[in-house]
Amino acid sequence: MRVPGGPAAVGFLVGAAFVAVLAAVLWVAVPGVAERTIPSLANAQVSRGERIYSASCASCHGGPTGGEMMDYPPKHNANGHTWHHPDCELVEVITTGGGPMVEMMREMMAPPGAPTMPAWREKLSDEEIDAVLAYIKTTWTPEQRELQEQATRQQC
């Protein structure tokens, strides 16, 4: 191939192509990057989360509306307090069913005989847990989402 500029230019073109391919592969492979950037993928994640939520969580935690702050098990929608907690705390509760936050909450709020939060580690993958959280967040107000994002940035 004759390229103006000789071997150096060929080297540059090959290098640039390599970087472009690497960037594309990373963009698709790193979880969350594509979801955050392509709205249709974000929607797919939310509908996946909604299906999981209806099947596994709604029986205890209720739907996208209704309920109030002191309900037990807590409502996850805008009427509950789930949005007070940063992502890492919510993920810990979902995977283990416990943790310091859950102990405090039970002590303060649980009526006698209240059910306990199951651990989902063995039943849901990390992607499924992210999807459920993405769905839960759609039931919050924009202000709640903003405050919860701030808490996540500061505490996780």
CA atoms in the 13 A half-sphere facing the CB of 41 = 10
Nearer to ligand HEC, 46 or 93 (CB): 93
Nearer to ligand HEC, 34 or 92 (CB): 92
* Of the residues 46, 90, 131, 134, which one makes contact with ligand HEC according to CB under 6 A: 90
Here's the x/- map for ligand HEC, 102-141, by CB under 6 A: it reads as: x--xx---x---xxxxx-x-----------x---------
Among residue numbers 11 through 50, which ones bind ligand HEC (CB under 6 A)?
none
Among residue numbers 57 through 86, which ones bind ligand HEC (CB under 6 A)?
57, 59-61, 73-74, 80-82, 85
Task: Report the distance separating Cα 60 and Cα 71, nearest Å.
Answer: 10
Interface with ligand HEC: number of residues (CB under 6 A) = 25
* Of the residues 35, 45, 62, 93, which one makes contact with ligand HEC according to CB under 6 A: 93
* Cβ neighbours for 42, distance < 8 A, ≥ 6 positions apart: 35, 36, 134
Asked if 133 and 49 touch (Cβ cutoff 8 Å), the reply is: yes
Measure CA 24 to chain center: 23
Nearer to ligand HEC, 28 or 121 (CB): 121
Give kind and range of the element (H or E) at residue 16: helix 7-29
Q: What is the 3-state secondary structure (H, E, C) of 44-95?
A: HHHHHHHHHHHHHCHHHHCCCCCCCCCCCCCCCCCCCCHHHCCHHHHHHHHH
- The contact set with ligand HEC (CB under 6 A) reads 56-57, 59-61, 73-74, 80-82, 85, 90, 93-94, 102, 105-106, 110, 114-118, 120, 132
